[in-house]
Amino acid sequence: MDKTPDTNLYLVGFMGTGKSTVGRQMARRLGFRFFDSDREIEHAQGRPIADLFAAEGEAAFRGLEKKFIESGHSPVGCVVACGGGLVVPAGMRELLGRRGVVVCLHASAETLLRRTTRTGHRPLLQGSDRETRVRELLAAREKIYRAAGTLVLTDGQPVREVVAHVLRIYRRETRERSRR
């Protein structure tokens, strides 16, 4: 019998890979609740991420991300679009993997540069040389992203194709998890 799985789905990947857009559509397809970790943290803290970074620093923000993953949402029936750096600190990849299926959306630096032009709300991409910043951050994180979950390349892919791909991975991996 095909039991409907309700395992959480976590979308990770660099800023501009489409986690929120794809996540919202995935939640609709699965009949799950959708969470965007950035929006949840902003809501809980009552201020935008840029202010949090400026006032408390990046390490404090990473602590809030961890708290949200550990206890800020239901353990089943959720799709979570994770902020781009959420999976980076030691132990976060394993934490996400214990809580559900992890899919990493990925794209080339060129695509990400195009997709992050309007990026005033992203503290890590401020400054005059966004291109160098994107390339450096991506290079520093790429290995972590690739190890975090099944990789989906989004370059040149319409959203509906990416959603269909993520749905196939989710179904396969929830089947595998239920056999463990």
CA pair distance 67, 59, nearest whole angstrom? 13
- Contact between 134 and ligand S3P by CB under 6 A: the answer reads no
What is the torsional sign of CA 37, 40, 42, 44?
Answer: negative
Among 18, 23, 84, 100, the residue binding ligand S3P under the rule CB under 6 A is 84
Q: Which is nearer to ligand S3P, 38 or 173 (CB)?
A: 38
Q: Which amino acid is at 25?
A: Q
Distance separating alpha carbons of residues 35 and 143, to the nearest angstrom: 25
- The continuous run of DSSP H or E covering 152 comes out as strand 150-153
Which 13-32 residues touch ligand S3P, going by CB under 6 A?
A: 15
Q: Does 149 bind ligand S3P (CB under 6 A)?
A: no
Length of the chain: 180
Judged by CB under 6 A, the stretch of 27-35, 80-88, 98-106, 161-169 that binds ligand S3P is 80-88
Question: Is residue 48 within the footprint of ligand S3P (CB under 6 A)?
Answer: no
Residue numbers at the binding site for ligand S3P (CB under 6 A):
15, 38, 49, 83-85, 122-124
